[in-house]
Chains A and B, each alone.
Chain A
Amino acid sequence: MTNIEKYNNAFVNSLEITEDRLAGLKYQDIEAWDSVGHMTLVAAIEDAFDIMLDTDDIIDFNSYEKGKEILSKEEYGVAF
């Protein structure tokens, strides 16, 4: 699986939405992405890439695009 596939899968599985709705998706845009959903999502992403996100990055992760930006940082090294 490519990194983008892993990343999208984490969203699709934890927030129960279809892939075509991911672009532009923001925290609290849909009911499932509330604080509970956010925790599920973060756990799924950490599992998929075998990383541990910093507190600051977890609370900064407020959109589909922002998440990619965070994962691309040096300490996580996920290239899309």
Chain B
Amino acid sequence: MEKIWNLDKFADKVALKDDKGQSVTYRCLIEVTDKIAEKIEKRCLVFLLCRNEIGSVIGYTAFIQHKIVPLLLNSNLEEKLLQNLLDTYYPKYLWIPEDMQESFQGMDVVYSAYGYSLLRTGYGKDYPLYDELGLLLTTSGSTGSPKFVRQSYENIFDNASSIVKYLKLDETEKPITTLPMNYTYGLSIINSHLLVGATILVTEKTLMQKEFWNFFKDEGATSFGGVPYTYEMLDKLRFYRMNLPSLRTMTQAGGKILPELHEKFAKYAAENGKKFVVMYGQCEATARMGYLPPEKAVEKKGSMGIVIPGGQFRLIDTQGNIITEPYTTGELVYEGKNVTLGYAERGEDLILGDERNGVLETGDMAQFDDDGYYYIVGRKKRFLKIYGNRVNLDEIDRMIKGEFEIDEASAGVDDHMYIFVTDAGISETVRNFVIGKTKLNPAAFKVIEIEEIPKNDSGKTLYKELEKYYEK
């Protein structure tokens, strides 16, 4: 396959700009990415410690363009967890922020540019890579789980092209970063915009900071993406009163947005000549599978929309039959070229080929209406999305039980996890343990003491009975 991005085509245009006044043209991007690739003798695995900084995006672009396989991690990943991943995958190189170099003494710095450095790890061992393997991405936030999604070059190109089509992106776009680039949704914004020669505005600042909004206004940002919680924050900020003439499009993914907020933002968009686009996806499908066309945003409140160009949806009942009746719940199955190869959980998995053949059982339960618009109504597996991050409740239960040897149950709704314990004395310790493991803001976690964990005769926890304790 050819290179994913045709950077030559936009040589004089600005590719990246940051909030410190630095900018990089597409021509310069080609030069620097070529230099990085020259330092690496052959196709191999590289760990990329991501930040929303120019150096980080440049490294990523270099690796993808030159068939070097990056494994993307957040740069604030705990040292112990990172070490664990290094020992699992033995990357040949690291691409890290310069200010982190001292954590990797004993590794040679072979190249530096734009605040990032290429380090040779010197590991005497490496694992063979499958020819089509393009990159590795986590499904969860920063828990340091060794499980990664294997995305191919075709996956990346196909999904980015589809996004360009349905969002009608062109070179006049200026998206501003609001999501980490090691997060599938954040990365999809970079992938799709480099395809059309747009200017990506990169910043580590959050939307709770004045510097973010100053950068937004000064550079005339045209779009941003957000998880449901982002829109709660914007609502709190009374976003509707902000004067943002350059803004064209707001996208939403990473979980189901509250219907009230969906309505508020859809109306704001309609009244102000902007687009609000609710989308649906998973890391296992590279990023996107569905989108709600902006002109339907008000009318189809609560829907995640229709399938993206090039893909196909179907609903399957418990017997495996295709559902044809509207308003009938079934598991959502997606078919398309962006369905990823599979997972890697250890170094030996990097040689694995395509295990899914273009078909993904999403694990999401859905319905469609009379017009064929899809609505997510539940999940097959027990997990929550917390601030856009997938958190598996069975995994949480296993971890707590393993650590404390107590009876407990975790449950909840998106952005709010409840952990039920029977021993009041241990509440605080359990809570801190879970916060430490998930590395998510403590506001999402609550421990509730109850007499007894409700169970059926065969000892299975009755999670439904715990719902009465949820805060409204």
Q: Do A and B come from one complex?
A: yes
Q: Which residue numbers of A lie inside 8 Å of B, CB to CB?
A: 14, 16, 27, 31-32, 34-40, 42-43, 54-56, 58-60, 62
Q: Which residues of A contact B324 (CB under 8 A)?
A: none
Residues from 85 to 135 in B contacting A, C-beta threshold 8 Å = none
Q: Which residues of A contact B207 (CB under 8 A)?
A: 35, 59
The smallest C-beta distance from B249 to any residue of chain A, in angstroms, reads: 21
Are A40 and B210 in contact (CB-based, < 8 A)? no
B20 part of interface (Cβ distance < 8 Å): no
Expressed in whole angstroms, the Cα–Cα distance for A42 and B237 within the complex equals 10
Main SS class of interface, A: helix
CB within 8 Å: A-B pair count: 53
Query: Which residue of chain A is the closest to B440 with respect to CB atoms?
Result: A36
Query: Which residue of chain B is the closest to A34 with respect to CB atoms?
Result: B441
Expressed in whole angstroms, the Cα–Cα distance for A25 and B210 within the complex equals 17
Are B209 and A62 in contact (CB-based, < 8 A)? yes
Are A35 and B242 in contact (CB-based, < 8 A)? no
Give me the 5 closest cross-chain CB pairs, A-B, nearest first. A36-B441, A35-B206, A38-B208, A35-B208, A59-B210
The smallest C-beta distance from B108 to any residue of chain A, in angstroms, reads: 32
Query: Which residue of chain B is the closest to A58 with respect to CB atoms?
Result: B237
Expressed in whole angstroms, the Cα–Cα distance for A60 and B325 within the complex equals 52
Are A36 and B210 in contact (CB-based, < 8 A)? no
Given contacts A27-B208, A40-B441, 16 further A-B contacts (CB under 8 A): A14-B443, A31-B441, A32-B442, A35-B208, A36-B229, A36-B233, A36-B441, A37-B443, A39-B233, A39-B236, A40-B443, A42-B236, A43-B236, A58-B237, A59-B207, A59-B212
Expressed in whole angstroms, the Cα–Cα distance for A40 and B444 within the complex equals 11
B394 part of interface (Cβ distance < 8 Å): no
Are A36 and B242 in contact (CB-based, < 8 A)? no
Are A37 and B441 in contact (CB-based, < 8 A)? yes
Q: Which residues of A contact B206 (CB under 8 A)?
A: 34-35, 38
Query: Can you name 20 A-B pairs with beta carbons within 8 Å?
Result: A14-B443, A16-B442, A27-B208, A31-B441, A34-B441, A35-B208, A35-B233, A36-B229, A36-B233, A39-B236, A43-B236, A55-B239, A55-B242, A56-B210, A58-B236, A59-B207, A59-B213, A59-B237, A62-B209, A62-B210
Q: Which residues of A contact B239 (CB under 8 A)?
A: 55
Expressed in whole angstroms, the Cα–Cα distance for A27 and B387 within the complex equals 19
Q: Which residues of B contact A34 (CB under 8 A)?
A: 206, 441
